[in-house]
Amino acid sequence: MSTKAEAQHQQNQHYDDEIDLKDLIVPLWRAKFFILLMGSLVTMSLVVFYLGGFVLQSSHATLQLQFNFKGVETGKFPNGANFSPLELISTPVLAQVYQQLKKPSFSYSDLQAAVTLAPNFVGTESIEKVVISLIAKDKGLSVDDFNTAIDKYTQVLSSRSKTHVSLSLDLALVSGNFATAQSILTNIPAAWAQQALQDRGVLATSTQPLSRSLSTHLSEDLLVKINLLSDAHLLLSQQTEILKKAQFSSITDPETDRTMTDVAHLLSVEGKYKIAILKEMIIKSGAGVDSLDWYHNFRAARLGKLRRESNRLVRMVVVYEDALAQFSQAKDATQNPRTSMANSQSSEQIYAPQLSDGLINSLLELGSSMSDPAFRKQLIERKIDISSQLQSILSEIEFYQTPADDGSFSNLDTQRIEKSIAASNDMLFDLNRSLVNISSIVNQQYLGDNGQLYNLLGSVLQQDTSNMTSNIQLKLILGFILGCFIAVLAIFIRRVISSDLITATVKNKISA
């Protein structure tokens, strides 16, 4: 009897070792809703974790810009002022853009929050490919050569990222009105350029000259009047030369039909044949001067001021010469490391307490980049400018050092001299107005999207974005699969436990 029961148990155990697909599929099909529920619960948990429970869709209008003025890579305007792309979304610019809107339905603070600025440089992939190719192709590059190549491409990437930016505006601000968003985005760089050119004069070539009437009427004394007239003539002449060097000679003043060449010629005539002669008569010979004591004291005071200015310029020239000499020694020491210690011990330190901290700081800034030829060129050009100023001061000193010829022009009519000064003043003011008009035309040329400050790269585009990124989408898919897998695993564990309980029950009955 026992032998027959054992045979039956062995036969049942043999049948139990066989796997029936039906036994696998049927339980899963019966528990399909449970599996989907587990997968959905895990997915919803990930949505709450990554997105806070909300999938947000947003639309933006985007405009690509390129800054193309000289010095943008170094963060400087042509006149030396600091530049940052963040100026586009500064308070003065956005305030002007907001004022240009007609009855906006949003507040200024809403506009500030809706406008964003980001660097936009699409060349990173090409640079990365070049660097990867250098790594892949083992051509015997030394470590120094490889590091030099990396530094070069890094500098290119950094400079290009400063020249290309992307302006974006949330379309929710304008209730999806793309035309209004397009107008706002195009007005932002235009307002910035207008403020930079007209209010700050960031381009030395377009800085406006005197915008008010010349002030020779501020004094009744002929000595003061002729000096004010001479200074105004010098200022206008410098502005004229700047515009001529910038190749604006062909621009015509629409009010007077004068070109830059005409203005330069009239200034030269006014200076040589009127202002210079009046200065000679009044300052050098005392024409129209009532008090000789005042006349001599004025000349002495003026001469003393010119001498102090001359001494200051001489010291500045010496400092720049010493700086250039030390920069050359530092460059030679870099090329010859063995002699760097000897050169550093023998070189003299720059010490000029009589000069301003601004000058010393500028020299130190140049010294930190002395290996850059552009900075060395800037230092040399500055030295040349100071030397030119020094020569002008020396000529003025020579003029005032000439002994006064008391009474040689005493028979000249003072009223006639005053009329000549007034006529020259009116002429200079008229020429100044021509320069203002020409400068305005130059500024208008720079305000376009193909101007000197920036270019528009294409038109305004609409971009739809969502916080549901591709990375998060992949994680949600994997989370759903993981939830389903956990549910399937739970089903089979429950079946295994149930099967073991049934087997144990059968064994207990057989043993009984």
According to the model, what pLDDT value does residue 188 have? 94
Q: Of 483, 470, 490, which Cα lies nearest the Cα of 44? A: 483
Q: What is the torsional sign of CA 471, 472, 477, 481? A: positive
- Non-local CB neighbours of 447 within 8 Å, separated by 6+ positions: 190, 193, 194, 197
Single-letter amino acid, residue 10: Q
According to the model, what pLDDT value does residue 32 have? 83
* 233-282 pLDDT per residue, tens: 888 888 888 777 766 777 888 888 888 888 989 999 998 888 888 887 78
Q: For residue 465, give the 3-state DSSP assignment.
A: strand
Please give the radius of gyration of the chain, using alpha carbons only, rounded to the nearest integer. 41
* 20-66 pLDDT per residue, tens: 667 777 778 888 888 888 888 888 887 777 766 555 567 889 999 88
CB distance 217 to 428 below 8 Å: no
Burial of 500 (0-12, 13-18, 19+ CB in 10 A): exposed
Beta bridge partners of 455: 66, 450
CA atoms lying within 13 Å on the CB side of residue 141: 16
Distances (CA, A) of 384 to 316, 377, 380: 11, 11, 6
* 334-347 pLDDT per residue, tens: 555 444 444 444 44
* 386-439 pLDDT per residue, tens: 888 888 888 888 877 877 665 554 556 778 888 888 888 889 888 988 888 888
According to the model, what pLDDT value does residue 451 have? 57
Per residue, the 3-state secondary structure of 314-325, as one string, reads HHHHHHHHHHHH
Q: Which range is least confidently modeled, 165-169, 323-327, 330-334, 365-369?
A: 365-369
According to the model, what pLDDT value does residue 185 have? 93
Token pair for 312: 């200051």
Q: How far apart are CA 24 and CA 35, in angstroms?
A: 14
According to the model, what pLDDT value does residue 461 have? 87
CB distance 248 to 224 below 8 Å: no
Given a cut of 50, is residue 354 above it in pLDDT? no
Give, for 37, the enclosing helix (H) or strand (E).
Answer: helix 32-51
Dihedral (Cα; 153, 155, 157, 160), 10-degree rounding: -130
CB distance 75 to 84 below 8 Å: yes
CB distance 203 to 78 below 8 Å: yes
Q: How far apart are CA 109 and CA 117, in angstroms?
A: 16
User: 37-51: string of b/e by CB count within 10 Å (b at 16+)?
Assistant: ebbeebbeebbeebb
According to the model, what pLDDT value does residue 54 have? 58
Q: For residue 53, give the 3-state DSSP assignment.
A: coil
- Non-local CB neighbours of 412 within 8 Å, separated by 6+ positions: 281, 287, 288
